[in-house]
């Protein structure tokens, strides 16, 4: 009996390893998909699309694409929509619509780099929330990893060259950070009983409806164009980047991101999501000829090192 008891932790660890590995792959895939959005949106913005129109179409396409999977995932679990109505509304309004609306409002008032950096303090906010509300005190390695990742972000976003700041933009960026924090915390909640695809699909639907309401009231300016979009490799029709934004950077990104958070927990998933910034730099290089500099490459390595440290520190908790 003693030998069997001693073997239990080893068996549990061997069973957990594939789930963690799969979670990391899902998180990296989600971050990469999210990272593509900036370059695609840049092409649309250059032809007269407003940020509000881009984000509304993006979320609407994603909600429609996930609708069949959402219905299938909720089969026999419809009661969960009523039981978790508050969480779903919070996710759709705050984590989906709110985060994107606030971020676009921030970049309309300040440089993109500082806005991104402020929004990506969300992992630190997740650590603080888990510590203050759930007593999950971060290990020294987790804190060190967070500091390394933050230093890497400063380099990746090229903030050392100086950037314009506006207090109104900072306020909007902080609001976007709150939405991103809610995304990670709600996505990692395994107690709700909602399958990842169901939460993603219903959340995106609520987000699309919220953005549509903002557009109808005039708070979200809507401008569109059917002019061709010029990217570095080729010029494409206007609907191509929109489809990619909806299917890849929203539907796929949210679904895999939630699944990753369920496997990794909100703390680790939020730090792996920092790889989105690196992916954004790479896609900007490939699609819009914005070549990353040496400091940005060093920053990318620091972000990766920080993420690894946070993951190792999470095991020590």
Question: pLDDT digit string (tens) for 221-248?
Answer: 899 999 999 998 899 999 999 999 999 9
Length, in residues, of the chain: 317
- How sure is the predictor about 15, in pLDDT bands with cuts at 50, 70 and 90? very low
- Average pLDDT, rounded, for the chain: 83
Res. 22: pLDDT tops 60: yes
Cβ neighbours of 30 (radius 10 Å): 27
Res. 179: pLDDT tops 90: yes
Q: Which of 18-32, 78-92, 192-206, 288-302 has the lowest mean pLDDT?
A: 288-302
Query: How far apart (Å, rounded) are the C-alpha atoms in residues 104 and 52?
Result: 8
At residue 125, the pLDDT reads 85
Answer positive or negative: Cα dihedral of 160, 162, 164, 165.
positive
At residue 117, the pLDDT reads 72
At residue 310, the pLDDT reads 76
pTM of the model: 0.81
At residue 111, the pLDDT reads 65
What is the residue extent of each domain of the chain? 27-315
Percent of the chain with pLDDT over 90: 32
Residue 173 in tokens: 């960026």
In 224-266, beta strands by DSSP E: 229-230, 235-236
At residue 246, the pLDDT reads 95
Q: Pick from 300, 291, 294, 158: which is nearest to 232 by CA?
A: 291
Q: What are the distances in angstroms from CA 223 to CA 126, 220, 246, 261, 310?
A: 35, 10, 18, 35, 42
Residue 169 in tokens: 């933009």
Answer positive or negative: Cα dihedral of 137, 91, 101, 26.
positive
Q: What is the mean pLDDT of residues 158-165?
A: 62
Whole-angstrom Cα Rg for the chain: 20
Residue 316's Cα: distance from chain center in Å?
26
Q: What is the mean pLDDT of residues 300-311?
A: 77
| 3-state SS, residue 98 | helix
């Amino acid at each position: 009996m003693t030998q069997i008891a001693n073997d239990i932790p080893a068996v549990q660890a061997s069973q957990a390893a594939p789930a963690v590995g799969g979670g990391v792959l899902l998180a990296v895939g989600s971050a990469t998909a999210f990272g593509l959005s900036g370059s695609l949106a840049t092409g649309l913005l250059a032809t007269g699309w407003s940020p509000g129109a881009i984000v509304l179409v993006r979320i609407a396409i994603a909600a429609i694409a996930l609708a069949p999977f959402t219905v299938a995932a909720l089969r026999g679990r419809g009661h969960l929509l009523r039981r978790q109505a508050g969480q779903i509304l919070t996710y759709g309004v705050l984590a989906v619509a709110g985060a994107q609306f606030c971020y676009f409002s921030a970049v309309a008032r300040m440089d993109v780099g500082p806005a991104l950096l402020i929004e990506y303090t969300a992992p630190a906010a997740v650590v603080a929330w888990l510590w203050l509300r759930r007593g999950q005190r971060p290990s020294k390695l987790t804190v060190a990893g967070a500091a390394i990742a933050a230093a890497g972000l400063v380099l990746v976003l090229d903030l050392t060259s100086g950037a314009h700041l506006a207090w109104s933009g900072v306020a909007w960026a902080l609001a976007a950070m709150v939405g991103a924090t809610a995304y990670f915390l709600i996505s990692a909640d395994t107690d709700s009983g909602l399958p990842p695809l169901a939460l993603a699909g219903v959340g995106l639907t609520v987000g699309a409806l919220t953005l549509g309401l903002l557009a109808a009231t005039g708070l979200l300016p809507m401008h569109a164009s059917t002019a061709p979009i010029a990217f570095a490799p080729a010029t494409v029709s206007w609907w191509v980047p929109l489809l990619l934004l909806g299917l890849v950077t929203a539907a796929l990104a949210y679904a895999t991101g939630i699944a990753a958070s369920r496997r990794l927990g909100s703390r680790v998933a939020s730090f792996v999501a920092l790889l989105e910034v690196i992916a954004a730099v790479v896609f900007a290089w490939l699609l819009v000829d914005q070549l990353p500099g040496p400091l940005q490459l060093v920053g990318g390595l620091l972000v990766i090192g920080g993420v690894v440290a946070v993951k190792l520190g999470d095991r020590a908790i």
